[in-house]
Chains A and B, each alone.
Chain A
Amino acid sequence: MSSLVKVFDNVPDCVGYLIMNEEGSIEHSHGDLENNENAANLIYKMVLCAAKISVHPTEKMSFKRFTVSDDQYVYCISCASQRIYVAKRRQESSANA
């Protein structure tokens, strides 16, 4: 498990991360996303929903990763090896303010 968590060590401006399994159960969480079951549930629903959306307007093409950005933070979400990885990063503009 520590090797899975290490992937977030080099993510710049990371304020929290989350690793879930394919059923939506939290395997590891840290920082802003630590013990945040509401966020985890929402993100899991978003992954299931995003899997139905094609990235191409006319061809079927599933996402490899997706991001949710507002003016303060960006959630970077990706899936690999039956796990969902989420990194919450501070937006550049709010970091410089």
Chain B
Amino acid sequence: MDKNFETLVETTMKKFSMVGVDAKGVLVCDRNGLALTSNNVSNSPGPVARLAELATSLSGRRATVCLEHNENQVLIHQTEKTIVAVYTENAT
């Protein structure tokens, strides 16, 4: 099952690149901050999960957090069961 999950992430990253979005890394974790899978990401998932939870509390609905440093971005989104973080460049 883990292999299917990793394959799903890799396939999704390829689909992103086909539409011109270069995903450099993907991290998927649960709401407790435990990593489920990651692709080329060495960061800890704990603060990512916490940030997504705070964002949902702030807006009262599903929200996307985007952290930016020049052209580098990380997009963090909470789904029903997981939090997904996508590392990219110049995403619009």
Interface residues of A (CB under 8 A from B): 39, 42-43, 45-46, 49-50, 52-58, 61-73, 75
B43-A42 in contact (CB<8A)? no
CB closest chain-B residue, reference A60: B43
Interface residues of B (CB under 8 A from A): 24-25, 27, 40-44, 47-48, 50-51, 54-55, 57-70, 72-74, 87
Which of B24, B55, B61, B74 meets A53, CB within 8 Å? B74
A57 to B74 CA separation, bound complex (whole angstroms):
8
A67-B66 in contact (CB<8A)? yes
Question: Which of chain B's residues have a CB closer than 8 A to the CB of A39?
Answer: 58
B40 to chain A, nearest CB (A): 5
Question: Which of chain B's residues have a CB closer than 8 A to the CB of A65?
Answer: 68
CB closest chain-B residue, reference A46: B54
Given A52-B47, A57-B27, 5 further pairs, Cβ under 8 A = A50-B51, A53-B43, A61-B69, A68-B65, A70-B60
A66-B54 in contact (CB<8A)? no
A41 to chain B, nearest CB (A): 10
Nearest 10 A/B pairs, CB to CB? A57-B25, A63-B67, A57-B87, A55-B69, A52-B47, A70-B59, A66-B67, A57-B41, A70-B63, A42-B58
A49-B72 in contact (CB<8A)? no
A68 to B65 CA separation, bound complex (whole angstroms):
5
| Centre residue among B41, B55, B73 by max chain A CB count within 10 A | B55
B79 to chain A, nearest CB (A): 14
B72-A61 in contact (CB<8A)? yes
B88 to chain A, nearest CB (A): 9
